[in-house]
Structure 1
Amino acid sequence: MAEQPRMAAPFPAPPPFYKHFTKQNTAQLRQLRKDAGVPAHHDQDATTTTDQRPNLDILSLPPELRYLIPPQPPTDNKFKAFGIPHDLNAPSPTLADLQIEQLYPSHPSVRLNPQSHLISLARSQLTTYLALVGAMSQDAEQWPPFAEDLETITFNMHDLINQYRPHQARETLIMGMEERVARMKGEIGRIGEAREKVAQLLQGLEDAGSGPWRPAGEVDVRVDRGEDAAERKRKARQRAAWAALEQEMG
């Protein structure tokens, strides 16, 4: 019996240049930047910056230090990821562009309410998967048509979800604004309740016999002859405090 090949690693190895990201190389690059008068946060790979400050020449650096300087960000919104080119300005491809059969109606209302169609596609996906498992249990070579059906259903589900995202974003923003308005109305209501409580407290103090308060500097003619100067000053300070509080709440 032939020996089964062993898997070396469950995931691919990282790029080999990760070994150059060491503390020693980082310190050396920092010193080179300091000697050249380049800011420590500057990571462009040009010989001069946009404000005419000197920068490091990446080609003059040792190979182990070149990987520490990231490339410039793309200026034309085009980039590659895992070898696949991407263009941010290009429109999203449709099912027709990908030559995939569309399984849901083309009515505009479907974009605003795709839940029922997504549920139907999810059920079809589950049914197709069960049919695939049953067919492979009898003949393993019967999987291609079922796999193609699963791929078509999955693409249609993703297309429906992507079309619903703008509407979902607007609804989420509306919901957040409504919650903020409700929160602000609640705060205004609590401030009004606090104002009413303070007004009731002032009215209660006045009804208790302390006499109506007056603004600071106004003379109270309802002062008993038996009160001394200290008592009159204390009451005057109290009236001034209530006047300031009423002015603040008003």
Structure 2
Amino acid sequence: MATATYPPPPPFYRLYKDYNENPKSIPERPPPIEGTYMCFSGNYTTDDVLPSLEEQGVRQLYPKEPNVDFKKELGSLNRELQLHILELADVLIERPSQYARRVEDISLIFKNLHHLLNSLRPHEARATLIHVLELQIQHRKQAVDDIQRRREELQKLLMESLGTLAGQ
């Protein structure tokens, strides 16, 4: 039984048959999706909002202020996590049957750390974009300087060549 190596093109390819003669004949782009949409049996939203810990059913261990000192709170949660891990090791040695509460506490701390880090993602993306743009500007300035330097060298070489031709 023989089968085709590649599947046939999708039927909408016919919409682009006159593209070579008239590039403006292609259909308009569909409008961007807003709100919720379904993809691969999962519901997604275009709203980029980080749900609060209370909305997720998790107790928040750091202050609920709008201006949180991320560095201080992450350090505090990290120290608390270290303490709970040491307590878990102690409980596992002394009373192995009572480990569940310590694991729940550690899980709660990890969820709070994760939420704090996720709330920093927009700032990280902005800083990364600024850094990439600054690098591009630096590379372009170096390229312009290199072109100007080579132009000056070429003009100097051209003047020397004209001088030797005039001297002959």
Same fold, TM exceeding 0.5?
yes
Residue aligning to 1:168 = 124
1:107, CA displacement in angstroms?
A: 3.5
What's the CA shift string for 1:190-225, capped at 9, x where partnerless? 0000111112222333444x229xxxxxxxxxxx9x
In the alignment, the residues of structure 2 paired with residue 187 and residue 103 of structure 1 have an alpha-carbon distance, to the nearest angstrom, of 51
In the alignment, the residues of structure 2 paired with residue 41 and residue 168 of structure 1 have an alpha-carbon distance, to the nearest angstrom, of 44
In the alignment, the residues of structure 2 paired with residue 127 and residue 175 of structure 1 have an alpha-carbon distance, to the nearest angstrom, of 37
1:115, CA displacement in angstroms?
A: 3.4
Residue aligning to 2:88 = 132
What's the CA shift string for 1:218-242, capped at 9, x where partnerless? xxxxxx9xxxxxxxxxxxxxxxxxx
In the alignment, the residues of structure 1 paired with residue 66 and residue 38 of structure 2 have an alpha-carbon distance, to the nearest angstrom, of 31
State the AA in 2 paired with 1:200: K
In the alignment, the residues of structure 2 paired with residue 191 and residue 94 of structure 1 have an alpha-carbon distance, to the nearest angstrom, of 53
Moved over 4 A (4+): 49-52
Structure having greater relative contact order (Cα 8 Å, sep ≥ 6)? 2
Residue aligning to 1:40 = 7
In the alignment, the residues of structure 2 paired with residue 109 and residue 134 of structure 1 have an alpha-carbon distance, to the nearest angstrom, of 37
In the alignment, the residues of structure 1 paired with residue 60 and residue 86 of structure 2 have an alpha-carbon distance, to the nearest angstrom, of 22
Q: How many residues align?
A: 145
State the AA in 1 paired with 2:121: R
Residue aligning to 2:57 = 99
Say if 1:93 and 1:76 are closer, same or farther in 2 by CA, change over 3 A.
Answer: same
Residue aligning to 1:179 = 135
In the alignment, the residues of structure 2 paired with residue 173 and residue 135 of structure 1 have an alpha-carbon distance, to the nearest angstrom, of 46
SS of alignment partner, residue 93 of structure 1: coil
State how 1:12-91 maps to structure 2 within 5 Å: 30=3, 40=7, 76-77=37-38, 79-80=40-41, 86-89=42-45
Say if 1:42 and 1:104 are closer, same or farther in 2 by CA, change over 3 A.
Answer: farther
Determine which structure has more spread, i.e. the larger CA radius of gyration: 1
- Asked whether the equivalents of residues 53 and 115 of structure 2 are also in contact (C-alpha less than 8 Å), the reply is yes
Say if 1:42 and 1:195 are closer, same or farther in 2 by CA, change over 3 A.
Answer: closer
In the alignment, the residues of structure 2 paired with residue 170 and residue 93 of structure 1 have an alpha-carbon distance, to the nearest angstrom, of 20
In the alignment, the residues of structure 2 paired with residue 186 and residue 51 of structure 1 have an alpha-carbon distance, to the nearest angstrom, of 45
Say if 1:139 and 1:42 are closer, same or farther in 2 by CA, change over 3 A.
Answer: farther
State the AA in 1 paired with 2:43: D
1:197 and 2:130 correspond: no
1:211 and 2:166 correspond: yes
1:150, CA displacement in angstroms?
A: 0.5
Gaps (5+ residues) in structure 1?
1-26, 44-48, 53-74, 81-85, 213-223, 225-250
In the alignment, the residues of structure 1 paired with residue 8 and residue 130 of structure 2 have an alpha-carbon distance, to the nearest angstrom, of 39
**Which TM-score applies when normalising by structure 2?**
0.70
**Which TM-score applies when normalising by structure 1?**
0.49
In the alignment, the residues of structure 2 paired with residue 177 and residue 41 of structure 1 have an alpha-carbon distance, to the nearest angstrom, of 42
Gaps (5+ residues) in structure 2?
15-35
Root-mean-square deviation (CA, aligned residues, Å) is: 3.1
SS of alignment partner, residue 120 of structure 2: helix
1:50, CA displacement in angstroms?
A: 6.2
Residue aligning to 2:24 = none
